Structures are given as structure tokens and as C-alpha cells.
Structure 1
């Protein structure tokens, strides 16, 4: 397996840069739009933005981590394990992806549009035995079975909604205070 040389520091910097860009763009867009749409519009916009991000997040992850789908002929035992674990969990077999990263890691991801996938890093495949990798794969398939991606979408949407409500209350109180002073 040829590695493209992701280091832990490089991975962290990529994640920080991506997160900063998402926050900056969304803050700019929300600031422009929220000046005129009020509380209900703000909540609807926050929900729509989070739903959109949830739907496209698999594509962002594939690009950010340079994931490529693992063909059965490359690592047949990994495909066999994924099929067995998915069948045992009552799920459709997720797509398997390889990340060219030396740090041992794995993660599950997906959305209703994309479907579900499990990514493993080159470092994980080099560091752990087949049995240990199968255990990690089982853990990641457990995330899919328990719909953890859905839970995380809700967990990220709620702060956005509360922020919109807080902003509306703050602006309303400032406006009301200005009216009282007249």
C-alpha cells in the first residue's frame, strides 16, 4: 500500500482548515440572510443548512481524506468480514474505503442519498491483525446500525436552532429597548 504521506499534524491542519472554512462561509451567509427573515425563517434556514450538510458530507469526506473505494480483489478478507458483520446486523453491506493516512483510524459515514460506508486507514491495516481490523469494522458497522450519523445531525442542528432563537431574542430586546427610550 503506497501512502501519500498524511501525517497526524497534516490531518489535523486539514480538518482545522476545513472546519474554519465551513464556519466562516456559513457565518457570512447566515449574517446576510438573517437580517431580514426573523425567528421562524432563521430556524428553517438552520434546519435546511444542516440537512444539506448531512446529505453532502460523505462527498466532502471522500474528498478531504482522499478516500478510494476498496475493490474486493484488493482485500478480500475485509469485504468478507464487512458482508458477514452487516448481514449479522441486518444491514446492507456498506462500501469500504481506504484512506492514505499512516495514523491507525476508521470511521463510518453516510447519508440517505449516498448510502453508508466505512473507511479504514493504511495505518490501521498495517498496525492491526486481521482479527483486530474485523473488530474495528464491527464497531463501525455498529455506528451505522445505531444510526449515529442521524443522531449527530440532530446534535449539530440543535445548537444552530438555539443560536437563531437567542439571536432573535437579543435583537428583539435591543429593538424594544430603543422603542422605550423614544
Structure 2
């Protein structure tokens, strides 16, 4: 996929996500306003709760990841070559060097993460270093640095907030229809709007998934451009990762699963 086509696809998907969210929200507000089933204050509280939860998750997620997946700072003497690879790629990408982390996991994987509190981080598992050649590790790290360059964590957090609002709204209305309705007619109206909100959540989630896949392609492009013969090396690395991960799961030696990532 060409650069401009990729960028236009991402912009179009994000615009559709925002536009549909606004449209659906206006419709639901209209329905609730006509039926006088909820207050603007209650809706504002729900939206604020979703936004606050996502912000808190973003700020604290790096510390949770480090604890859950046994992630530690990479020792510069032990991983001197890995530091050289990361720093060299950052120069080519014109990117501030992130903290390099090691996850003691047998599953071959790498992931980029971070927050304003923790800073930007790139972690590789010991399984990745064991299974891949050095040039393939470089291609994988190039992909992960692409995520940091494009601020994918922030973009996807914003995109995920929109369907989450409808998810919480839908369940709140469903519970209200069972527990807080004054009569059968009001209960039916609440349940109907709640079900519609959950359906909207599902539709918007498809847009978020598509946007996530486009961001993966965008990160692939950074690896292909900034690593010599990067496209081939990244493809070979991905094939080895899929094979090795399947083999570990087959023999029950996967351990604690690393954060989901295509690479």
C-alpha cells in the first residue's frame, strides 16, 4: 500500500469513527431526551468516567506491563549490541531513544509502550533474541520504533474511548431498565436504547480494529525504509515468530503471554 493511500485510509477511518460516533450519540441523546429517561448530568458523568479510566490506564499501563510480564531495564553491558541497534535506528528515524527493556519470556515478541509518567519504552523478550537472527531483530525493533514515532499508543487510546462510551452507556441503560424504570413502558424504552448503544459499540469497534491494522502497516513501512532490506527481514522475522509461538503453545511452554502485538 502506497504512503498516501495508507495515510488517506487512516484519516478516512478516523474521520468515519468520529463522525459516526457523533451521529449515533446525537441520535441517542434525542431518543433519551424525548423519552426523558436520563439527564445530561448523568451522561456527562458516564463520558467523564470512560475518559478518566482510559487516561488512568494509559498513565499506569507501563508499570502494570513491567510487573505482569517480568520486564526489566536492559543492562547496557550485557545487551551492548541491542543498544547499538536501537540507537542507530532512532538516528535514522529522528526519534528520541526510548528506554530499552528486556522481558524474561520464552515467547518471541517485542512491543512498544509508554506514558508521560514512564516515558517511551521498547521491550524485547529473551525468546525473541534467542529465536531470531540479529538482522531480523533489527527489523522487528524498527517496526516497534515506528509505533513510537507515529504515537500509536495515543492515537489508539483516543480511538478506543469512542466505542467505550457507547459500551458503558448501553450497559447502564440496560441495568436501569431492569432496576430503575418507573413502569413497563419506560423499561422497554431504556432496554431498546441500551441494546442500540451496545450494537453501536460493536460497529465502532470494527473501525478501531481496522485503524489498528492500518497503524501496523504504517509501522511496517518504517522498518522497511530504515532497515537495509527491511521488508524481507521483517517478513522472515514474522514467520519465525508465528512458528516459534505455535510450537511453544503446543508444548505448553509459553509462560505468561506478552502484551498482544503483531510483532
Give me the TM-score of the superposition, normalised by structure 2.
0.50
- The reply on whether 1:133 has 2:122 as its aligned counterpart is no
> Matched residue pairs, number?
146
Other-structure match for 2:159: 155
Following TM superposition, by how much is the alpha carbon of 1:83 offset from its aligned partner in structure 2, in angstroms? 0.8
- The reply on whether 1:88 has 2:92 as its aligned counterpart is yes
Following TM superposition, by how much is the alpha carbon of 1:76 offset from its aligned partner in structure 2, in angstroms? 1.0
Following TM superposition, by how much is the alpha carbon of 1:153 offset from its aligned partner in structure 2, in angstroms? 1.1
Other-structure match for 2:202: none
Kindly report the root-mean-square deviation, in angstroms, between the aligned alpha carbons of the 2 structures.
Answer: 2.5
Other-structure match for 1:43: 47
- The reply on whether 1:110 has 2:110 as its aligned counterpart is no
Aligned to 1:108, the other structure's residue is in SS state strand
Distance 1:46 1:76, change over 3 A: same
Distance 1:172 1:81, change over 3 A: same
| Deviation readout 1:22-69 (Å, 9 max, x if unpaired) | xxxxxxxxxxxxxxx611111101100110000000000000111110
Aligned to 1:71, the other structure's residue is in SS state coil
Kindly report which structure 2 residues correspond to 1:13-92, keeping only aligned pairs within 5 A, or say none. 38-92=42-96
Other-structure match for 2:102: 98
Gaps of 5+ in 2: 1-40, 187-263
Following TM superposition, by how much is the alpha carbon of 1:86 offset from its aligned partner in structure 2, in angstroms? 1.2
Find the aligned partners of 2:126 and 2:185 in 1 and give their Cα distance. Answer: 65
Distance 1:177 1:129, change over 3 A: closer
Find the aligned partners of 1:172 and 1:100 in 2 and give their Cα distance. Answer: 46
Aligned to 1:178, the other structure's residue is in SS state coil
Give me the TM-score of the superposition, normalised by structure 1.
0.71
Distance 1:161 1:181, change over 3 A: closer
- The reply on whether 1:166 has 2:160 as its aligned counterpart is no
Task: Name the larger-Rg structure.
Answer: 2
Contact conserved, 1:39 with 1:168, CA < 8 A, in 2? no
